[in-house]
Amino acid sequence: MRQFKGWYWMALVAAMLLIAIVAIARGAVSVSLAAVVDALRGRGDPTAVAIVRDLRLPRIVLGALVGAGLGASGAALQGALRNPLAEPYLLGVSGGAAVGAVIAFALGATSDALITLAAFGGAIAAVFVALGVARVGGRSARADLRTLLIAGVIVGAFANAAIMVALANTSPNNIRGALWWMMGSAVDANWQRVAWLAVSVLVAGGSLVYWAREIDVLSLGEDTAASLGVDVERAGRRAFLLAALLAAATVSAAGLIGFIGLVVPHIARGMGLRTNRPLIIAAGLIGATLVVAADLAARTVAAPTELPLGAITALLGVPFFLIQLRRIS
């Protein structure tokens, strides 16, 4: 396997910054690099200042945080669940968030904060339902991690059914809003949302980085992890909850953006990272870069029509995943 070199970190950060700068400059109205620098400092053409500071910058920061959250969440989950196919949306988080948001839409909510809150509440509710299902379904009081994964999938399936029922009973106008939300988009970015997501990503992501060594041990299997002094049930639940919290925050801020949580950890591993602390950090950086790039594509490829971000990440993610799969086998 490839050896991860120190300068890769610089390359990862540089790639993210480069994409961010391009994303600020390009769009329906292109702004020159010099004008971008001026606008960021609040000088120059007021239209350019408004486009850069009020429209594009919050959108790019939001996209980066969503990507970072999903990448880190996926990396931690794959390690803790010992499953290369684990990803944040399998935890029922996505379905739960969608149910929360769709219910809010169906009730005619238009306030941005209200929908974000409803989505977050739905996601967290789904996680706890999954934990409960796993506890009942498991053989003992201990919610074993595999049961937890299955419980998450089941809760997600139930949530999808609930969404369809809710959508069948709602006005066409609300359906469009709900659908757009489910396809994932950074279009409604504002600083309030960015701040809320930044806090969640820093707290939950930082905690995962802190507990990363424990996830290394967990990924050796339950008996071995126990022999190394890890309380397997508690450690597994902790990783699960933190990963779910990260995913819930991203989903409530930008809807469903598929494939990032699944693919990004594999990219980081492909660069030669094996232990979870650097892996989670690198997955965050790569995820941020990819979502900002995908959002740039969503805005510009078919301009002035905007494409759903979640569809772009999946369109890019699927072929990538197939290549990865060939390299593994």
Partner 1 sequence: MIEIKDLVVAYPGRRTNAVDGVSFVSARGRLTALAGPNGSGKSSIVKAVLRRADIPRGSVSVDGRDVRLLSYGELARKVAVVPQREDAAFPVQVREYVALGRYPHLGLWRAPSREDELAVSEALTQAGVDDLADRDTDALSGGEWQRVRIARALAQKTPALVLDEPTTFLDVAHEMAIFELLSSLARSGLAVLLVSHQLNLVARFADTIVLLDQGKVATSGSPTEVMRADRLESIYRWPVVVTRDPAVGAPSLVPLRRPMQL
Residues of this chain that bind partner 1 (CB under 8 A):
1, 78-79, 82-84, 139-140, 210, 212-214, 216-217, 219-224, 226-232, 269, 274-275
Would you say 79 and 268 are in contact if contact means Cβ atoms under 8 Å apart?
no
Please give the backbone phi and psi of residue 25, each rounded to the nearest 5 degrees, phi first: -80, -35
The least distance separating partner 1 from the CB of residue 228, rounded to whole angstroms, comes to 5
Residue 40: Cβ within 10 Å count: 14
Q: Which amino acid does the sequence have at 164?
A: M
Minimum CB–partner distance for residue 214 and partner 1 (Å): 8
Q: Where are the alpha helices (DSSP H) in the chain?
A: 7-25, 33-40, 46-49, 57-80, 93-106, 112-137, 145-168, 172-182, 191-210, 212-218, 222-227, 232-254, 260-270, 276-300, 309-328
Minimum distance between the CB of residue 74 and partner 1, rounded to whole angstroms? 13
CA quadruple 219, 247, 62, 216: dihedral, nearest 10 = -10
Is the Cβ of residue 143 or residue 293 nearer to partner 1 in the bound state?
143
- We find the least distance from the C-beta atom of residue 231 to partner 1, in angstroms, to be 5
CB of residue 78 to partner 1, shortest distance in Å = 8
Q: Which residues contact 49 (CB under 8 A, 6 or more apart)?
A: 38, 39, 42, 43
Q: Identify which of residues 44 and 272 has a Cβ nearer to partner 1 in the complex.
A: 272
DSSP state of 91: G
Residue 218 CB: number of other CB atoms within 10 A? 27
Residue closer to partner 1 by CB (options 56, 266) is 266
In the complex, minimum distance from the CB of residue 327 to partner 1, in angstroms, rounded to a whole number? 13
Q: Report helix angle 112-137 to 191-210, nearest 10.
A: 30
Q: Which is nearer to partner 1, 222 or 295 (CB)?
A: 222
Complex with partner 1: residue 4 or 89, whichever CB lies closer? 4
Tell the smallest beta-carbon distance from residue 252 to partner 1 (Å): 30
* Shortest distance, position 143 Cβ to partner 1, whole Å: 15
Nearer to partner 1, 4 or 105 (CB): 4
Closer CB to partner 1, 66 or 80, in the complex: 80
How far is residue 257's CA from residue 40's CA, in Å, rounded to a whole number? 28
Q: Which is nearer to partner 1, 87 or 214 (CB)?
A: 214
- Tally the C-alpha atoms within 13 A of residue 99's C-alpha that lie toward its C-beta: 21
